[in-house]
Amino acid sequence: MFTDMVGYTALMGRDEKKAFSLLQKSRDLQKPVIEEYRGRWIKELGDGVLASFTNGADAVQASIVIQNKCAAAGEFELRIGIHQGDVVFESGDVFGDAVNIASRIQAIAVPGGVYISEAVRFNLTSQYHITTRFVKTEILKNVKEPLNIYEVVLNGAESKSDPSGAKDRTQTIEKSIAVLPFVNMSNDPEQEYFGDGIAEELINSLVHIKSLKIAGRTSSAQFKGKQVDLKEIGRRLGVAHVLEGSIRKQGNRVRITAQLISVQDGFHLWSEKFDRDIQDIFAIQDEIALAITEQLRITLLDKERENLVNNATQNTEAYELVLKGRFYMNRRGSAIPVAVKYFEQAIAADPNYALAHSGYSWTNYLVAFYGYAPGTAVLRKMEESAEKAIKLDGELAEGFFALANYYAAFVWDWDKSQKAYLKAMQLNPKFAQAFSIYGMGYLCWIKGQFEEAENLSRAGIKADPLSAVDHADFAWTLYGCGKFEEGLAMARMGVELDGNSFLSHRLVGLCLIELNRTEEAIAVFEHLLSISQRHQHALCGLIWAHCRNGNLIQAQAVFEELLLSKKHGYVVPFYTGVSAAHLNRLDLAFEYLEQAFADRDPALIQIKYNAFVPASLKEDPRFSDLLKRIGFP
């Protein structure tokens, strides 16, 4: 962080004594704030200060306090610039490109303002009380690449760099809502899925209303079981209303309470209690959804009303089984095979339930991706279920999404895959994961269209801003684009949102490897092994980190553990082959890659662009032959 006093040189020419007095006041004001936010006062540069922090969020917090104190004092103004990157500390000083960039950013900041780089802004996603606005893309002196510059909006004030006075904040739209998971009031913790499922079903109904902004499922679920002020929820999610409720299910009876609340004043716009038979669950959902539209004065088009109350099944057994399947599918990891069984049972209970088929298709994709079975064991199940879902409901975005993943990861039919992704996003423009996966898995990994991939993944975050999975997917995209600093920041946000997010931890480790912070990467993967029952993806990450660090003996020991795990189940051949290549065992590596090709390992589509694939593998003639056979565009 660089700070600089505005107009100091001119003041020195006019009144040297006053200039020195203000300079001392500036230093006295800044130093305790920097220390409070765990900063390090590096040195004074004339009328400016250079400080460092352990993370971008602390630096920005300190800068806001400093500027607010300056504004309150009214005696002088500062410009502040902040950038995040690797530096070298030596003899009490600091060196590196990051220092130069921070200095350049400070120089273009407006008086009284705080300018930050995009790398810093990535660190602020979870800092909901901090708002920023894009200023411009700037070519800075002695900096190779153009830099996106953002301004921190201070105290909710109007932007200092925007003459129109436009505010950069999450806009709270009047016709907007977050549906929180319904609280499980029964004595049976196994009923937890029901409260989550009711909320998700309501979201899926409301999402069809174009004039209504609705917060994503995962973002809303972040507040489950937490005592958070409604205004805080509204601010974080950018919504004006919250639907909350509770559910108690005993036998064939269900008691549901629901309240629609204005976050601004806590006023209950509508509330209702339902004591019904379980068979009435669909009617209850319809009543709640219609009450929301009435209270928010939403005029429904005929098609919207039809979608709002169009229940995909009247079979309560199948409905409950789908809720269970989704509940376990969203947990990922070892819960995936459990989810598969529930979707199978739902299809058996109601073969014409489109959501059961789309859920079964997508979960089978996760079975192969997480290494529970080869792709060949699930690809026909994926195809048949996705096509069945679409046949039953031609406007079901989840069906097209599942089909898109089938074509991309198993059949390698890029055109059909893209058409299905685009159809899913057209049918549901608020389908966060469709944006994330299309950006990451298709545009980045397959097409190498990195800028478009980044934009689509960013749209996924915008649709569901508190989703650890979408943050991890965005980190994957940034990693594939070679933006390892930004990827690391995004993956760490995923960890902040969900400390048990396997994918977020994994991306933290992968980015650290590419940033040559291998000791940190090793620690991340060892932690990941401890929380994942030594999952094979974590074993592979640890192998790659040890190899990059030169610990070949340790890497070989972990590789042997990976091979031995075959005794207990399927081992993903693509990652095993990459691990063998890291150990310079290229013949063995290509044996596993050939197995990955034969097994239709969905991870194989990462092979062309991702940095974890070592150069020795890419330089081998067999590599280009494999790419040709896969048919990358």
pLDDT digits (tens, 9 = 90+) for 556-568: 999 999 999 888 8
Residue 306: per-residue pLDDT:
60
Q: Is residue 485 part of a domain?
A: no
Q: Which of 283, 311, 339 is the last residue of a domain?
A: 311
Q: Is residue 195 part of a domain?
A: yes
Same structural domain, 37 and 111: yes
Q: Is residue 564 part of a domain?
A: yes
Same structural domain, 18 and 133: yes
Q: Is residue 224 part of a domain?
A: yes
DSSP 303-355: HHHHHHT--S---HHHHHHHHHHHHHHHH-GGGHHHHHHHHHHHHHH-TT-HH
CA quadruple 587, 593, 598, 604: dihedral, nearest 10:
-170
**Rounded average pLDDT over 186-211:** 77
Q: Is residue 510 part of a domain?
A: no
C-alpha 257/C-alpha 249 separation (Å) is 12
Q: Report which secondary-structure segment, H or E, holds 275.
A: strand 268-277
Q: Which of 286, 311, 336 is the last residue of a domain?
A: 311
pLDDT digit string (tens) for 247-272? 888 778 888 888 888 888 788 888 88
Same structural domain, 81 and 214: no
- The CATH number given to whatever domain includes residue 102 is 3.30.70.1230
Same structural domain, 218 and 249: yes
Same structural domain, 136 and 6: yes
Which region among 232-236, 543-547, 560-564, 580-584 has the lowest average model confidence (pLDDT)?
232-236
* Residue 481: CB atoms within 10 Å: 22
The structure's pTM equals 0.67
Closest CA to 318 of 350, 294, 341: 350
- Helices 484-497 and 502-514: crossing angle in degrees, nearest 10, is 160
C-alpha 270/C-alpha 262 separation (Å) is 10
Same structural domain, 203 and 305: yes
Closest CA to 83 of 173, 30, 4, 147: 147
Tokens of 588: 């063995």
Q: Which of 311, 326, 348 is the last residue of a domain?
A: 311
Tokens of 50: 């250079």
**Rounded average pLDDT over 25-33:** 92
Q: Is residue 104 part of a domain?
A: yes
Same structural domain, 9 and 126: yes
Overall domain count for the chain: 3
- Helices 586-599 and 573-582: crossing angle in degrees, nearest 10, is 170
Q: Is 230 helix (H, G, I), strand (E, B) or coil?
A: helix
- The CATH number given to whatever domain includes residue 549 is 1.25.40
* CB of 108 closer than 8 Å to CB of 54: no
Closest CA to 525 of 550, 506, 544: 506
Same structural domain, 133 and 32: yes
**Rounded average pLDDT over 164-182:** 61
Q: Is residue 164 part of a domain?
A: no
- The CATH number given to whatever domain includes residue 272 is 3.40.50.10610
Burial category of 420 from C-beta neighbours within 10 Å (exposed 0-12, middle 13-18, buried 19 and up): buried
Same structural domain, 92 and 180: no
pLDDT digit string (tens) for 296-323? 766 555 565 665 555 667 888 998 899 8
Range of the domain at 247: 173-311
Which residues, 6 or more positions from 581, have their beta carbon under 8 angstroms from its beta carbon? Answer: 589, 613, 614, 616, 617
